[in-house]
């Protein structure tokens, strides 16, 4: 079965520290997609990144970077020089197709609550 595990329930860091959020997934599909979302206190999930299973290149976007490793079924997310505004719940997700339809659904991890203290 498809599964996403975010073993870190809560992480607390001091501003300017680097922090890595772990994500491990299980899937039988040979082609799949992985995602990261951010949920600030306001509640709205904000899409951060999508990664295809056939593209293992790491990606950097400003202070954010993602490390995708198929060999360990991991898709970790690092925030460099964290800021108070990074405080949020972060979700990792895996896509799963829905039967014969063209629509997929996302399997979400439990989420990691990141608190960045000033």
Partner 1 sequence: ETGVTQTPRHLVMGMTNKKSLKCEQHLGHNAMYWYKQSAKKPLELMFVYSLEERVENNSVPSRFSPECPNSSHLFLHLHTLQPEDSALYLCASSQEAGRLEQYFGPGTRLTVT
Residues that bind partner 1 (CB under 8 A): 32-33, 35, 37, 42-47, 50, 91, 95, 97-99, 101-106, 108-111
Dist. CA 82–CA 20, nearest whole Å: 10
Minimal distance, residue 106 CB to partner 1, in Å: 6
Minimal distance, residue 68 CB to partner 1, in Å: 15
Minimal distance, residue 23 CB to partner 1, in Å: 13
């Amino acid at each position: 079965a498809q599964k996403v595990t975010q073993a870190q329930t809560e992480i607390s860091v001091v501003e300017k520290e680097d922090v890595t959020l772990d994500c491990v997934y299980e899937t039988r599909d040979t082609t799949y997609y992985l995602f990261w979302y951010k949920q600030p206190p306001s509640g709205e999930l904000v899409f951060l990144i999508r990664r295809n299973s056939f593209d293992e290149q790491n990606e950097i976007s400003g202070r954010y970077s993602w490390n995708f490793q198929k060999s360990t079924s991991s898709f970790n997310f690092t925030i460099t020089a964290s800021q108070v505004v990074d405080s949020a719940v972060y979700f990792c997700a895996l896509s799963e197709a829905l039967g014969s339809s063209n629509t997929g659904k996302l399997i979400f991890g439990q989420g990691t609550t990141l608190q960045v203290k000033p």
